Structure 1
């Protein structure tokens, strides 16, 4: 189905976009003060950006719900889902192309720094996305972090996304919300079939995922089909929400019919295709082993780093940073009595130390949740020491749904809705407590929650709509690593030295990612070679890195953005310290970066330039 995008209204055009040209045409330009022209230009830019934001949400209505902006005249988006068919994706690209042309046409002279940043961000995001849409296969992120050549696999696909989204984000507070829930369910078979058409087309081109990824996806899909057949996903969720509101459950009965029937049938069609793909799959892990794989990886690396670095350059930077971090870890290991072997070997030994393990099973899971809660409270109290502009995140810590855990990372996190009604969430993988250690869980908390993803997202949610939608992998993940660094600088490990090892190992782990991702996708590494690099060089836990490596295989390039983004932020901080000397203030620098919002790396540098210009006055 092709969706029409919003167009600029006559009022918006007259109020802003055409203001300066209109003045010139009437011969009055000379009588209008420059600040009036600049104001008109700013108003025009702001309104164009708002229109572009809602144009994007026309194609990704789930984001409108997650942001809490599917209200009033946009309430109809609450009953819609993204069109996953080839035609739907083509229509999405056409909207981006149209709005990119509009944004490029906006005069930049006289615009304030905020609007300059906003326009630069949108232009960069749309250019990257359109290059992705031009590729013959894959799922293209638009202001997102996932570069997925396989539309349905162990951690990609609406069979995973829709149950999580409907259960977590689609609120039911009245009959209209329940109607919208059903409307979305009615669209689900077409959504699944749209994905099916794309993965069948990819198989026709010879693009088949690695067999070991398909094995995971098939197992997960079988669980999803079984749950749908029993009405345990959508119908059960809707019934729970209706009951909580004291509403009749007639909608839930309709949901059960849809879930047991056409939804389950569409999922079975996807499952049959995955099994057909498994019959012809190889275990070659890298995208370079697929048709046009080098081309896909070049785009994925650019999308994931927002730079033009080559695979070789990323690979070498990862190796260099890994060595530097291990040099910092070595004396700490010696101090606590681990003196023999490489840093990786000693970290493996440390991971087996029972003092730092959590109990097995549910008692250990409860212990982990209590540990996280204590660390969140501690770091919240430190934030006035690191920022002048503070936020108070509405957040919760949740277990990743067990059906997803096998294909999921150790944890992930993100901001809540723009209106605050949906909390930010720190999702923790608890399929086994052996995924976590007491010396690395604090650092993971700072990364996913505060001052990392949840904290940063609160600032982005204060920006114009389009800026709350668009995010860039190296900033998102680089900021979360910088958040880990801030926690260390604020004293998180002053009385827990082994915890600093966990922090440094976390940074080293991200340096390893730069090496492993490029190794898999550009240097012909095997899956085992990638896993062993983490275990042997960094002392990582095999149970953790096996799923990590599988994730890199399904999201080429994404893993490279973390440490690269962190290093760019740290480089900018060093530049500010040098430029400002005694006038440098870390709280002002942190504000300048986080208030500028989620940006590509070149725009980050521009934002720091603007901060230095202000601070130097």
Structure 2
């Protein structure tokens, strides 16, 4: 910190001390912390132009971000790996003992974020939080076209020109990722054969689209029409710049495919066991080992299966495993939608209606609810083959974009009607949307607003499925209740399968068979899910681990407060602190309960 910066902090600290009554040393530590937070956040926006646009902050000092994409080069990767450790040192220069209350929570949250990523960053391949640059699930080839179509605003000719600049930058990013992938492959870090097959197929499908059908061209042509004729410029860029980069990336993946094995476990890679342990730390925000997570999944799975068994027997389904009996319901004509655009529109309408029907019940369970609306949308068809079954996209921090629940409608048979309520409550209200829209509307430091902890957010969303059940939404919907238990069992099975693949030698086929036999979901959906765990090790374990911590915290708080316990205040306390590591969440909720 320069002498000038130090003088600014001291002046800010003096003002804080006067305004808050804090001792001067505490006020100084507080001022240093938030000055550092502002610096980190500004660095993040500079390093990731996409993030600046996603958050609606590509204006003012960051207006230049609108024509750029982030650096995916090898030198950029080296910088990314070093950054968390550097930030830990900068944080530790602040006196933690001088902080209290929200300031201590914010410090501890940031410290965990960077310490956990610094541990994962010592492994010289992939990305900090996943092992491969390119898979069927990750890569600019998939994310950037969707980003340009849905996030890059076009409200002027200047916006259309920055879109074109980003379209040109897309080719550079493709080549940067290809170079990194090839460098990793030379070290033996190669995705499994089935992952590469799907990634190559998706790249080929995107490459084969004629210009007028390619989202990069079609989006600019449609939205830029009031400001000029951009189809020709975009088509020329696609053919002359983007297509050659796609061709080069396809060739790089094909070269690696010749050396790929069918084994997807991280333990086959150098230091793979240690890397997986670091990823579990990032994603569960606990010190649980792979064996402990595996055992949790087995134990929770047995308990949930027993509840499902009881429901199935009441319906006269008594023969076969729970999974097999549940699977028999997937083809019930009253519970399936046509695999057509009309059927998909019906599914979207049903999910939106579920959100509307839940709204009158919410004030009995939550004191604070988000003002920002949530919409249900289809995952773009050009990415759905490798995408998850559903995901939530938080609103822009500037309020310009609502929250969105994206659902994969590649095959409507993957989502029978009775499974949709729980998915909707998880992704929208009272799940992800409640937590993350409240973050966007909060006065938390912007760095905190932009932090994510999978075990907290996914744990909350799984806990929210439980809350929806407690609201009575399944009182006259026994199949819907079965769907809720199936979803919970699915998360328990994830713990078993993810750890099984990466530490116990499970094959892709064994993992798929286990999940189908356990929960009865359709094979197509389960196959995509298992392949996702191969691409993003550890993350799938965060759901059930997080749910367990949220549920235990509630029971512990109820026991402590007795008749004084108010579910609305408990939920508000847990949500308004924002996403934090589970250890910090427990400390916050225990402190709130006294």
- What is the alpha-carbon distance in structure 1 between the residues aligned to residue 331 and residue 536 of structure 2? 30
Of 252, 269, 288, the match for 1:273: 252
Shift of residue 181, structure 1, vs aligned partner: 1.8
The answer for the alignment partner of 1:206 in structure 2 is: 188
The answer for the alignment partner of 2:503 in structure 1 is: 522
Q: Secondary structure at the match of 1:178?
A: helix
Q: How does 1:464-543 map to 2 (within 5 A)?
A: 464-543=445-524
Q: Is the 8 A contact 1:42 1:112 kept in 2?
A: no
The Cα offsets for residues 62-99 of structure 1, whole Å up to 9 and x where unpaired, read as 11111111122221222221100110122234443333
1:184 aligns with 2:166: yes
The answer for the alignment partner of 1:432 in structure 2 is: 411
The answer for the alignment partner of 2:317 in structure 1 is: 338
The answer for the alignment partner of 2:275 in structure 1 is: 296
Q: Is the 8 A contact 2:515 2:526 kept in 1?
A: yes
1:377 aligns with 2:356: yes
Q: Secondary structure at the match of 2:307?
A: helix
1:14 aligns with 2:7: yes
The Cα offsets for residues 515-551 of structure 1, whole Å up to 9 and x where unpaired, read as 0111111111111110111111222221210111111
The answer for the alignment partner of 1:86 in structure 2 is: 74
Of 204, 225, 231, the match for 1:222: 204
The answer for the alignment partner of 1:310 in structure 2 is: 289
The Cα offsets for residues 121-179 of structure 1, whole Å up to 9 and x where unpaired, read as 11111112222222111122xxxxxx421111101000001001110111011233223
- What is the alpha-carbon distance in structure 1 between the residues aligned to residue 26 and residue 210 of structure 2? 56
- What is the alpha-carbon distance in structure 2 between the residues aligned to residue 232 and residue 341 of structure 1? 47
Q: Secondary structure at the match of 2:405?
A: strand
Q: Secondary structure at the match of 1:611?
A: helix
- What is the alpha-carbon distance in structure 2 between the residues aligned to residue 304 and residue 62 of structure 1? 23
The answer for the alignment partner of 1:327 in structure 2 is: 306
- What is the alpha-carbon distance in structure 2 between the residues aligned to residue 591 and residue 394 of structure 1? 18
Q: Is the 8 A contact 1:218 1:275 kept in 2?
A: yes
1:119 aligns with 2:107: yes
Shift of residue 399, structure 1, vs aligned partner: 1.1
Shift of residue 35, structure 1, vs aligned partner: 4.5
- What is the alpha-carbon distance in structure 2 between the residues aligned to residue 495 and residue 567 of structure 1? 27
Give structure 1 stretches of 5+ with no counterpart: 1-6, 24-28, 141-146
Cα separation, partners in 2 of 1:228 and 1:554, compared to 1, 3 Å: farther
The answer for the alignment partner of 1:144 in structure 2 is: none
Shift of residue 231, structure 1, vs aligned partner: 7.5
Q: Secondary structure at the match of 1:398?
A: strand
TM-score using structure 2 length: 0.94
- What is the alpha-carbon distance in structure 1 between the residues aligned to residue 213 and residue 417 of structure 2? 39
The answer for the alignment partner of 1:446 in structure 2 is: 425
Q: CA RMSD in A?
A: 2.2
The answer for the alignment partner of 2:367 in structure 1 is: 388
Q: Is the 8 A contact 1:97 1:130 kept in 2?
A: yes
- What is the alpha-carbon distance in structure 2 between the residues aligned to residue 8 and residue 552 of structure 1? 45
1:150 aligns with 2:143: no
The answer for the alignment partner of 1:96 in structure 2 is: 84
Q: Is the 8 A contact 1:414 1:425 kept in 2?
A: yes
Shift of residue 36, structure 1, vs aligned partner: 5.3
Q: Is the 8 A contact 1:228 1:264 kept in 2?
A: no
- What is the alpha-carbon distance in structure 2 between the residues aligned to residue 314 and residue 299 of structure 1? 14
1:550 aligns with 2:531: yes
Q: Is the 8 A contact 1:228 1:259 kept in 2?
A: no
Of 547, 550, 553, the match for 1:566: 547
- What is the alpha-carbon distance in structure 1 between the residues aligned to residue 349 and residue 114 of structure 2? 42
The Cα offsets for residues 240-263 of structure 1, whole Å up to 9 and x where unpaired, read as 1112xx21135x543332222122
The Cα offsets for residues 543-594 of structure 1, whole Å up to 9 and x where unpaired, read as 2101111111111111111111010111111111111111111111101111
The Cα offsets for residues 257-301 of structure 1, whole Å up to 9 and x where unpaired, read as 222212211111110011111112111121222333222212222
Q: Is the 8 A contact 1:15 1:43 kept in 2?
A: no
Once the two structures are overlaid, the 10-residue window that deviates more, 291-300 or 564-573, is 291-300
Q: Is the 8 A contact 1:93 1:130 kept in 2?
A: yes
The answer for the alignment partner of 1:351 in structure 2 is: 330
Q: Secondary structure at the match of 2:337?
A: coil
- What is the alpha-carbon distance in structure 1 between the residues aligned to residue 163 and residue 255 of structure 2? 32
Q: Is the 8 A contact 2:12 2:31 kept in 1?
A: no
Q: Is the 8 A contact 1:167 1:237 kept in 2?
A: yes
Of 137, 142, 157, the match for 1:175: 157
Q: Is the 8 A contact 1:113 1:610 kept in 2?
A: no
Q: Is the 8 A contact 2:206 2:214 kept in 1?
A: no
Cα separation, partners in 2 of 1:406 and 1:17, compared to 1, 3 Å: farther
Once the two structures are overlaid, the 10-residue window that deviates more, 52-61 or 583-592, is 52-61
The answer for the alignment partner of 1:238 in structure 2 is: 220
Once the two structures are overlaid, the 10-residue window that deviates more, 308-317 or 292-301, is 292-301
1:248 aligns with 2:228: yes
Q: Is the 8 A contact 2:374 2:403 kept in 1?
A: yes
- What is the alpha-carbon distance in structure 1 between the residues aligned to residue 385 and residue 178 of structure 2? 23
